[in-house]
């Protein structure tokens, strides 16, 4: 069973379209995240949720709207896609700090806007 699963794995779409990426974790973790990896492999936080509550919104444009229906799911909806949104989007989850603490990442969604 995949611990953190994202769908779709690849997404190619035209500028101006609206798209969603889904993420689910079966680890029982309380916290979920969206990270963006650009073409130079730089990883940057977008959003953090803890028990369905938004904790971090890292100056992400309003066109990006996360939704967490329950603590096992964190989806990302993107409106009016732009060329600059092309990147790999990673979902991750973590439990409370402790000796076994650490992020578990999904396999990523490669978004290409044309």
Partner 1 sequence: GIQVEQSPPDLILQEGANSTLRCNFSDSVNNLQWFHQNPWGQLINLFYIPSGTKQNGRLSATTVATERYSLLYISSSQTTDSGVYFCAVGSGGSNYKLTFGKGTLLTVNP
**Whole-number Å distance between alpha carbons of 31 and 76:** 15
At which residue do the structure tokens 């969604």 appear? Answer: 109
Residue 28 interacts with partner 1 (CB under 8 A): yes or no = no
Site for partner 1 in 35-54 (CB under 8 A): 40-45, 48, 50
Q: Which residue, 18 or 58, has its beta carbon nearer to partner 1?
A: 58
Instruction: Quote the tokens at residue 27.
Output: 């680890």
Residue 34 interacts with partner 1 (CB under 8 A): yes or no = no
**Whole-number Å distance between alpha carbons of 15 and 12:** 10
72 in helix, strand or coil? coil
* Footprint on this chain of partner 1 (rule: CB under 8 A): 31, 33, 40-45, 48, 50, 55-56, 58, 88, 90, 92, 94, 96-97, 100-105, 107-108, 110
């Amino acid at each position: 069973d995949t611990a953190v699963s994202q769908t779709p794995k690849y997404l190619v779409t035209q500028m101006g379209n609206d798209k969603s990426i889904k993420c689910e974790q079966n680890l029982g973790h309380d916290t979920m995240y969206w990270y963006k990896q650009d073409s130079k492999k730089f990883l940057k936080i977008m959003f953090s949720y803890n028990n369905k509550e938004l904790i971090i919104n890292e100056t992400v444009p309003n066109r990006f709207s996360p939704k967490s229906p329950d603590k096992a799911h964190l989806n990302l909806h993107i409106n009016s896609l732009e060329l600059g949104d092309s990147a790999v989007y990673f979902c991750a989850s973590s439990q409370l700090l402790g000796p076994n603490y650490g992020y578990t990442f999904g396999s990523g969604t490669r978004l290409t806007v044309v």
